[in-house]
């Protein structure tokens, strides 16, 4: 069943002679229990696609339907709530709050969303799996790129969202870690019935995907 | 609150500096307003202690007690009750052997009347005869003691200090309380003049006597030589200081909030509601401003204790509330000016290409 549908989405930036069309009539759907991979080179529109799919950017035309509701119909508040409760973002740039320790990044989630997060045991297991159990008292500035990325993954998964949108989640990881992250996302889809969408140029992730799309100059095709 | 405190704890230097700046600004405003208010009080402290509401002077005295003279006839026609008191003011120089000369205001009063009754003696006793005087505490600070014989101006008469009274200042000079007879001598007027003016604690007192005019206490105080000019100056000074202080604080908190926008973008991308970011911003501004004000107030209190006795400094509750409230308010306003920017912060800006 499709929990996330992107329907005829076009995105243009700028006006007049500066106008650039970044996405052209993109159609896409992600189902619970599946890993969807969108592969494209740098500048092809992957991040734009993912942020529109997750409701933090609005399409110029077209709409995104999450769990049955069209995002364009929702108020800003309702979109916030939907994002907090149902969508987990793993961003491309490192997206941790610099003044919170790893532990506090999770505490912040508990504060704004007291219910529906992973429990203690599940969190401990997640941190162990990602190899970051030892880092809970560190600040983001004290982490390496790969460690930061893994903490960002853990933070997004901790919210236990139905949909996980990951933007180049393996960019800073070595091959062993790529396997761990790929397997983890794959297992989340299979065992926990999540819908996983990964945009990347990392072909190594193809092994964990149920479907693969290609994106090129803003046009998406089924690979 | 969670985010606000975590951030302050993590960025101790930055927030310490901002609190330090608020401390200095509020300390400056507190101390200067305390000094200005203290000085203003030294113009009027003695008058306040009489708890009067009307002052009657000669029409030609140009509202000045020291220039005013009332004849026996005036006084009789004014029909005094126990709510009125005669008073005469003369500027004098007091001296005693081996002591510094002191410029003072001599106030002649009647031992049967209101002012005499309301003067509070902190040590010694009230005068029993024309040679005895009660003087302001600042005489004590200049080495004068009980029983000391002082001469006033170049007269031969000596007067004995029999009592000290606290906070008796008039036109920023210490007050000497004596008799109306002594006042006549010091002002070189004959027995035909009974006093300089009449003070009454009745709001309705208004003798209909030709040549006399009745002033309210506020009018009388505002006409004290130099008083309004001084007060206007200080009011403007403190007003400008407050405005500048508030603008500086508002600008600092504005910059602080603007610098946090990238972090706010990260939080927005995580789905943290905008409301949380706004409350974080406000509570952080409150924490900074309140702790700055508290430390500033503590420093001011320490300064008051450390200041030499002669420096006039006193505080007025409504002035303090005004200063504190003003700074608090601008802190919040400064932090909130960018609230629209916070609400519209673009999470995409942190996503990278
Ligand atoms: N806010 C924007 N304004 C103008 N152009 C943008 C904006 N965001 C992205 N673009 C452009 O859209 C194209 C696709 O960007 P992006 O989606 O980040 O690609 P990718 O993630 O695949 O590298 C790029 O050419 C980029 O310059
Ligand atoms: Mg990208």
Output the pLDDT for position B353.
Answer: 47
Which residue has a Cα nearest atom 27 of ligand 1?
A43
Chain segment B22-63, per-residue pLDDT in tens: 999 999 999 988 988 888 888 888 888 899 999 999 999 999
Whole-number Cα distances in Å, B90 to A65, B45, B104: 91, 17, 9
Q: What is the mean pLDDT of chain A?
A: 91
Which residue has a Cα nearest atom 20 of ligand 1?
A43
Q: Which pTM does this prediction carry?
A: 0.78
Cα separation of B229 and B139, whole Å? 27
Residue A87 has pLDDT above 70, yes or no: yes
Structure ipTM over 0.85, yes or no: no
Output the pLDDT for position B351.
Answer: 60
Ligand 1 atom closest to Cα of B353? Answer: 18
Chain segment A176-221, per-residue pLDDT in tens: 889 988 998 999 899 889 999 999 999 999 999 999 999 999 999 9
Q: Render B129-164 in DSSP notation, one character per residue.
A: STTEEEEETHHHHTT--TT-EEEETT-S-EEEEEEE
Counted domains in chain A: 1
**Where residue A79 falls among pLDDT bands split at 50, 70, 90?**
confident
The domain of A91 spans 2-222
**Where residue A94 falls among pLDDT bands split at 50, 70, 90?**
low
Mean of the pLDDT values across residues A91-96? 74
Q: Please report, for the domain that includes residue A33, its CATH number.
A: 3.40.50.300
Chain segment B100-136, per-residue pLDDT in tens: 999 999 999 999 999 999 999 999 999 999 899 999 9
Of B273, B351, B352, the CB nearest to A80: B273
Chain segment A11-23, per-residue pLDDT in tens: 999 888 889 999 9
Whole-number Cα distances in Å, A22 to A14, A25, B241, B326: 11, 10, 54, 50
Chain segment B293-349, per-residue pLDDT in tens: 999 999 999 998 888 877 888 888 888 898 899 889 888 888 888 888 888 777 777
**Residue partners of A121: CB distance under 8 A and separation at least 6:** none
Cα separation of B329 and B323, whole Å? 10
Distance A42 CA to ligand 2 centre (A): 7
Distance A168 CA to ligand 2 centre (A): 7
B12 part of contact set with chain A, CB < 8 Å: no
Any atom of ligand 1 within 6 Å of the Cβ of A86? no
Distance A62 CA to ligand 1 centre (A): 18
Chain segment A31-74, per-residue pLDDT in tens: 999 999 999 999 999 999 999 999 888 999 999 999 888 999 99
Which residue has a Cα nearest atom 17 of ligand 1?
A45
| Closest-CA distance of chain A to residue B289, Å | 21
Ligand 1 atom closest to Cα of A46? Answer: 22
Classify each residue of B160-182 as buried b or exposed e, where b means 16 or more C-beta atoms within 10 Å of its C-beta.
ebbbbbebbbbbbbbbbbbbbeb
Q: Which positions in chain A touch B9 (Cβ < 8 Å)? A: 99
Whether A92 sits inside 8 A of B352 (CB atoms) is yes
Output the pLDDT for position B352.
Answer: 56
Q: Render A74-107 in DSSP notation, one character per residue.
A: S-HHHHHHHHHHHEEEE-SS----TTS-HHHHHH
């Amino acid at each position: 069943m499709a929990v996330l549908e992107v329907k005829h989405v076009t995105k243009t930036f700028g006006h007049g002679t500066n106008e650039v069309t970044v996405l052209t009539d993109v159609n896409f759907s992600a189902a619970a229990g599946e890993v969807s991979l969108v592969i494209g080179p740098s500048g092809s529109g992957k991040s734009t696609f993912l942020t529109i799919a997750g409701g933090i950017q609005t399409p110029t035309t077209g709409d995104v339907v999450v769990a049955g509701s069209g995002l364009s119909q929702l108020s800003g508040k309702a979109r916030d709530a939907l994002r907090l409760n149902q969508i987990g973002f793993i961003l491309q740039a490192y997206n941790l709050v610099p003044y919170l320790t790893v532990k506090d990044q999770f505490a912040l989630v508990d504060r704004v969303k007291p219910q529906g997060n992973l429990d203690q045991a599940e969190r401990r297991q997640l941190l162990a799996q990602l190899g970051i159990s030892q880092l809970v008292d560190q600040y983001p500035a004290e982490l390496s790129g790969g460690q930061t990325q893994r903490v960002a993954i853990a933070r997004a998964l901790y919210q236990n969202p139905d949909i996980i949108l990951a933007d180049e989640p393996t960019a800073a990881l070595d091959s062993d870690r790529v396997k761990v992250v790929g397997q983890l996302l794959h297992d989340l889809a299979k065992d926990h019935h999540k819908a996983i969408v990964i945009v990347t140029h990392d072909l190594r992730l193809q092994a964990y995907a149920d479907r693969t799309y290609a994106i090129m100059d803003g046009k998406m095709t089924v690979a | 609150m969670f985010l606000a405190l975590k951030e302050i704890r993590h960025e101790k230097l930055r927030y310490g500096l901002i609190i330090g700046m608020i401390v200095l600004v509020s300390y400056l405003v507190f101390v200067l307003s305390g000094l200005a208010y203290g000085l203003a009080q030294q113009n009027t402290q003695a008058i306040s202690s009489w708890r009067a509401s009307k002052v009657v002077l000669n029409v030609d005295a140009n509202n000045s007690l020291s220039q005013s003279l009332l004849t026996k006839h005036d006084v009789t026609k004014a029909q005094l009750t126990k709510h009125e008191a005669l008073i005469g003011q003369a500027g004098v120089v007091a001296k005693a052997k081996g002591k510094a000369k002191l410029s003072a205001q001599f106030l002649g009063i009647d031992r049967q009347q209101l002012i005499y009754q309301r003067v509070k003696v902190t040590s010694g006793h009230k005068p029993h005869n024309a040679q005895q005087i009660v003087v302001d505490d600042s005489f004590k600070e200049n080495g004068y003691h009980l029983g000391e014989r002082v001469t006033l101006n170049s007269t031969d008469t000596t007067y004995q200090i029999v009592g000290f009274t606290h906070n008796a200042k008039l036109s920023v000079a210490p007050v000497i309380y004596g008799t109306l007879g002594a006042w006549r001598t010091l002002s070189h007027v004959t027995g035909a003049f009974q006093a300089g003016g009449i003070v009454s604690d009745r709001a309705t007192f208004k003798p209909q006597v030709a040549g006399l005019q009745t002033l309210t206490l506020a009018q009388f105080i505002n006409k004290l030589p130099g008083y309004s000019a001084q007060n206007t100056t200080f009011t403007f000074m403190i007003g400008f200081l407050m405005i500048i202080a508030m603008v500086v604080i508002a600008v600092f908190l504005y910059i602080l909030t603007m610098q946090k926008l990238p972090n706010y973008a990260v939080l927005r991308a995580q789905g943290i509601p905008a409301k949380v970011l706004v409350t974080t911003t406000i509570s952080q501004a409150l924490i900074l401003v309140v702790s700055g004000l508290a430390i500033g107030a503590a420093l001011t209190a320490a300064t008051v204790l450390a200041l030499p006795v002669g420096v006039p400094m006193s505080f007025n509750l409504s002035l303090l509330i005004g200063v504190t409230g003003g700074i608090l308010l601008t802190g919040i306003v400064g932090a909130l000016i960018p609230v629209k920017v916070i609400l519209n912060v673009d999470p995409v800006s942190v996503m990278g290409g």
